[in-house]
Amino acid sequence: MRRSYYAAHVYMIVGVVSGLFYREFTKIKDFHGETQLGLMHTHLLALGMIVFLVVLVLDKVFQLSGARLFTAFFWFYNAGIAVSTGMMGVHGILTVLGRDEDHIPEAVPLVAGLGHILLTVGLILLFILLGKRVNEHVRQDGSKDEQAEAASRPVHL
């Protein structure tokens, strides 16, 4: 659980700092157009902070963090956020510095796509683990309900 808390905390800090960077960098460069730097802030806060706060709650309820699938989710998902938002930063900085879409290296969107693939793999792993834990939880609750129901039925001889 601590991992999710620390991840959420780090993403909150990095998200706020990226918003500050966006505002100050575009002001210093006197830039008034669209740039991916403005999107970086919300992506870090939503995909990082908010998702890990939700995962923290799910972990409390379903004990996710002890599983190997959770560790795999954690690292794939974090790598995906780092790569995706890193490329948003590169793309945004190049835009503010005057490069148009035709002069941004093709590697930038390709690497960003890799980041999205890593995010997707992480989310799939999380849902596989969550599905297993939910099924275990339902089976445990279902068997208790069935036992209580059976105990309350009259026995006919």
Per-residue pLDDT of 52-63, as tens digits, reads: 999 999 999 999
| Residue 135 within any structural domain of the chain | yes
Parent domain of 49: 2-139
Residue 75 φ/ψ, nearest 5 degrees:
-75, -40
Helices (H) and strands (E) in the chain, counts: 5, 0
Is 70 a member of any domain?
Answer: yes
Q: Look at residue 20 and tell me if it is in a domain.
A: yes
Judged by average pLDDT, the poorest of 113-117, 138-142, 151-155 is 151-155
- Domain-embedded: residue 148: no
Structure tokens at 115: 């980041």
Confirm whether 152 is domain-assigned. Answer: no
In this prediction the pTM is: 0.87
User: Is 76 inside any structural domain?
Assistant: yes
Task: Give CA angle at 129 (125, 142), nearest 5°.
Answer: 155
Place of tokens 């930038």: 108
pLDDT tens readout for residues 16-31: 999 999 999 999 999 9
The tokens of 41 are what?
A: 């802030």
| Digit-coded pLDDT (tens) for 67-90 | 999 999 999 999 999 999 999 999
Instruction: Examine residue 146 and state whether it is found in any structural domain, yes or no.
Output: no
12 contacts 45 by C-beta, under 8 angstroms: yes
- Identify whether 156 is part of a domain: no
Cβ-based neighbours of 49, under 8 Å, separated by 6 or more? 8, 9, 11, 12, 15
In the block, residue with structure tokens 């959420």: 8
Predicted local distance difference test score (pLDDT) of residue 42: 96
